[in-house]
Amino acid sequence: MLYTDTVEAELLVHKPWFVTTIFALVFAFFFLINPTNSGLGELMRPVIGDPLASGVYGRFAIALMISVLFCLNIVLIGFAPFKVQVPVVWLELLLLFAAFFNAFDLSLPFISQKLPILLSQGLFTTVYVAAISIFFATILAVIGAVAKLSGNGFAFAIASFYTSFFRGLPLLMQLYLIYLGLPQLGIVIDAVPSGVLALTLCYGAYMTEIFRAGIQSIDRGQWEASRSMGFGFGLTMRRIILPQALPVIIPPTGNQFISMLKDSSLVSIVGVWELMFLARSLGQATFKHMEMLIAVALIYWVLSICMEFIQARIERHYARSKMR
């Protein structure tokens, strides 16, 4: 929350019109999908009898029960303080996802057996590819942003063409062009460097625009004052402009880093043994595709949470510096 609201007002989840609307939407959704042939129907068997023979009554009863429980849940959570609401909602959502995954009848022993391979080899390769790509994409973005803001027509033309081209092509196509196209010119690049180069060029183009917008958000007077004091271009950018632009740059850049981490899975198409490649290989060999896909999905999620945590810490650091 940016600011604490000092105006006393009734919570949205306690307003009758909001609760009624949510109740109607939830009821309509579950009534239409007909959950009588699922686990919910079995839970309601004492009330509706045989779920498959309950017909409209069974659908109505199940939808009504879920709607009442859902609305009661959000109303009760609304009475709790913010620090309690967040973990409670997270816990409930995690339980819902666990119930959803449990419906697939997963083989947990198989997942635990293959998990060390995913973590030792697949995770290492994924983090390795993503980390190197992030490093070089950041350097490329700074150079591209400065070029797009310069008065040099040659530099601006190259930077604008670069951002237009690599933002206009799908990442998968860029990977194919680098891995399969460059050998036609006699330039042969291995799978991992090809993946790193494709991710760097693609995300460097997006991040160029982020850095450009962040630099332009700084008032022109900062630049003029620095130059009037005799600061050179590099010193002005390093000590004056970029430190002030970072609070604007960090949030969208963090999103790009998380996206790059997930898009690193595309390098599996050229034979890189990262998480998705191993998940497909192990799943195909044993016909347990869903187990491997869900395990890899959870690993990606944990990595994304770690990056979100780092991003939040950096944002808080610069927020404190702005308040001083």
* 304 in Cβ contact with 258 (< 8 Å): yes
Q: Note the pLDDT of residue 37.
A: 81
Task: Report pTM.
Answer: 0.81
Q: Note the pLDDT of residue 210.
A: 93
* Cα–Cα distance list, 99 to 4, 77, 94, 122, 187 (Å): 36, 21, 9, 27, 50
Q: How far apart are the first and last CA of the chain?
A: 19
**Amino acid letter, 280:** R
d(CA 119, CA 274): 10
At 207, give phi and psi (nearest 5°). Answer: -70, -25
Work out the average pLDDT over 153-160: 92
Q: Note the pLDDT of residue 289.
A: 83
The winner for highest mean pLDDT among 153-157, 267-271, 320-324 is 153-157
Which band of pLDDT confidence, cut at 50, 70 and 90, is reported for residue 209? very high
Q: Is 161 helix (H, G, I), strand (E, B) or coil?
A: helix
Which band of pLDDT confidence, cut at 50, 70 and 90, is reported for residue 45? confident
Q: Note the pLDDT of residue 205.
A: 94
Which band of pLDDT confidence, cut at 50, 70 and 90, is reported for residue 156? very high
Tens of pLDDT, residues 217-255: 888 888 888 878 888 877 888 888 888 888 889 889 989
Q: Tokens at residue 90, please?
A: 């997270």
pLDDT(2) > 60: no
Q: Note the pLDDT of residue 75.
A: 92
d(CA 137, CA 78): 43
Q: Note the pLDDT of residue 231.
A: 83
pLDDT(150) > 70: yes
Tens of pLDDT, residues 164-180: 999 999 998 999 999 98
For every residue of 204-261, DSSP letters joined together read HHHHHHHHHHHHHTS-HHHHHHHHHTT--HHHHIIIIIHHHHHHHHHHHHHHHHHHHH
pLDDT(18) > 70: yes
pLDDT(287) > 90: no
pLDDT(286) > 60: yes
d(CA 32, CA 251): 40
Q: Note the pLDDT of residue 136.
A: 95
What mean pLDDT is reported for the chain?
86
